[in-house]
């Protein structure tokens, strides 16, 4: 399949870029550990002061496990290509994709997945260590089938988050300097996805409303598949919803890029 070759090259390039900046990635992992540490101490204090063994429907062990997993899963699905798209549109680099026999969307997807692979490997390794630690020290049972289902949901979550941010990056066609806005959007989506606290913490109404949005399916849902909070049928139902959201966001991305692309202006040679 010769048409696939160019995208494999884009994947390869993304992979190499990620390896080139591996030290930066490791440093970013250290700073990602801080919120996990702060929240672990916070939950320890809250559970110590609380009369019951369960808070917000989570036992202490489930909550700590959630905190660790949320920190890692949010990092796993995180994007970053939106800044590259902003640069492409702002500085006219997008023009070359208009004349080359290469689709911008598949190129971005291939490059993104390539960039994700080394980091995902490292984070999955860390996640594995956390799971082993939870099993050895707290006796938390993780069934192999759940791990498998988690990995499937994780792939779908990564694709879903890619599509969400591909949609957001279309703002670059309307607003030239959009970097700060991307950061604001990223933070809010992390909060809405349950990447900081479980959604139940903010109340049933909030959790229900957040459940109507796609963000939950990028962090909160994969974790609940892994930690056993969801039954088998609920996990399958969630997977189906992930796929439906992927389809919906794909259509929205297509529409946004078609409308936004008409606004693109390249000046000069």
Partner 1 sequence: MWRWGDRMNELWREIKKHWLIYRLFLKNSLMAQMEYRFNFIGNLAMESGYLLVKLSYVVVVYRSGVSIHGLSPDEILLFIGTFVFLTAVYAGLYMINNFGLRGKIKDGDLDLILTKPVSLQFMATLRQADLTIFSVDALAGAVMVCIAWARLSIPVNLVTVGGYLGFLGISSVVSYCLFLLPQILSFWLMNTSAIAEITDSFWDFNNMPMDIYNRWIQQIGVFILPIFVVTNFPPMFVLKKMPSVYLGWALLLPFLLLGLVRLAWKRGLRNYSSASS
Query: At closest approach, how far in Å is the CB of 232 from partner 1?
Result: 30
Query: At closest approach, how far in Å is the CB of 180 from partner 1?
Result: 3
* Residues of this chain, 199-238, that bind partner 1 according to CB under 8 A: 201-203
**Cα 268 from chain centre:** 37
Binding footprint of partner 1, residue count (CB under 8 A): 38
Q: Which is nearer to partner 1, 15 or 182 (CB)?
A: 182
Query: At closest approach, how far in Å is the CB of 224 from partner 1?
Result: 19
* Residues of this chain, 30-49, that bind partner 1 according to CB under 8 A: 30-31, 34-35, 38, 41-42, 44-46, 49
Query: At closest approach, how far in Å is the CB of 250 from partner 1?
Result: 25
Is residue 101 exposed (0-12), middle (13-18) or buried (19+ Cβ within 10 Å)? exposed
Query: At closest approach, how far in Å is the CB of 212 from partner 1?
Result: 19
Residue with tokens 């082993």: 132
* Residues of this chain, 54-73, that bind partner 1 according to CB under 8 A: 55-56
Q: Which window, 50-58, 65-73, 109-117, 119-127, contacts partner 1 (CB under 8 A)? A: 50-58
Cα separation values, 245 from 26, 159, 216, 230, 253, Å: 32, 10, 11, 19, 12
Residue 72-111 contact track with partner 1, rule CB under 8 A, x = bound? ----------------------------------------
Which two three-digit tokens encode residue 182?
């991307």
Residue spans of alpha helices (H) in the chain: 2-20, 22-49, 60-77, 81-90, 95-99, 104-138, 144-169, 179-192, 204-211, 220-226, 232-261
Residue-wise DSSP of 57-77: TEEHHHHHHHHHHHHHHHHHH
Residue 162-201 contact track with partner 1, rule CB under 8 A, x = bound? -------------xxxxxxx-xxxxxx-xx----xx---x
Query: At closest approach, how far in Å is the CB of 25 from partner 1?
Result: 11
Q: Which window, 23-31, 68-76, 228-236, 237-245, contacts partner 1 (CB under 8 A)? A: 23-31
Residues in Cβ contact with 167 at an 8 Å cutoff, skipping those fewer than 6 apart: 249, 252, 253, 256
Q: How many CA atoms lie within 13 A of 258 on its CB side?
A: 6
Query: At closest approach, how far in Å is the CB of 96 from partner 1?
Result: 26
**Cα 20 from chain centre:** 22
Maximum alpha-carbon separation in the chain = 70
Binding-site ranges for partner 1 (CB under 8 A)? 23-24, 27-28, 30-31, 34-35, 38, 41-42, 44-46, 49-50, 55-56, 175-181, 183-188, 190-191, 196-197, 201-203
């Amino acid at each position: 399949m010769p048409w696939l070759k160019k995208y494999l090259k884009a994947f390869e390039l993304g992979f190499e870029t990620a390896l080139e900046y591996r030290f930066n990635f490791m440093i970013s992992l250290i700073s990602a550990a801080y919120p996990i540490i702060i929240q672990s101490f916070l939950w320890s204090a809250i559970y110590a002061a609380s009369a019951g063994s369960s808070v917000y429907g989570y036992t202490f062990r489930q909550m700590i496990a959630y905190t660790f997993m949320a920190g890692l899963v949010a990092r796993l699905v995180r994007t970053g290509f939106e800044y590259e798209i902003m640069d492409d549109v702002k500085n006219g680099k997008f023009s070359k994709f208009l004349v080359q026999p290469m689709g911008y969307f598949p190129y971005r997807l291939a490059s993104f997945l390539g960039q994700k692979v080394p980091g995902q490997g490292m984070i999955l390794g860390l996640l594995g260590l956390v799971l082993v630690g939870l099993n050895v020290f707290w006796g938390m049972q993780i069934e192999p089938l759940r791990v498998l289902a988690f990995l499937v949901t994780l792939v779908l979550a990564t694709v879903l988050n890619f599509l969400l941010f591909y949609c957001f990056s279309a703002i670059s066609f309307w607003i030239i300097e959009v970097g700060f806005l991307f950061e604001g959007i990223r933070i809010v989506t992390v909060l809405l996805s349950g990447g900081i606290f479980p959604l139940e913490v903010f109340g049933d109404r909030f959790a229900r409303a957040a459940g109507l949005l796609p963000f939950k399916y990028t962090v909160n849902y994969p974790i609940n598949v892994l930690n056993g909070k969801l039954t088998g049928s609920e996990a399958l139902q969630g997977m189906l919803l992930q796929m439906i959201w992927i389809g919906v966001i794909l259509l929205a991305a297509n529409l946004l890029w078609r409308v936004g692309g008409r606004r693109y202006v390249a000046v000069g040679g």
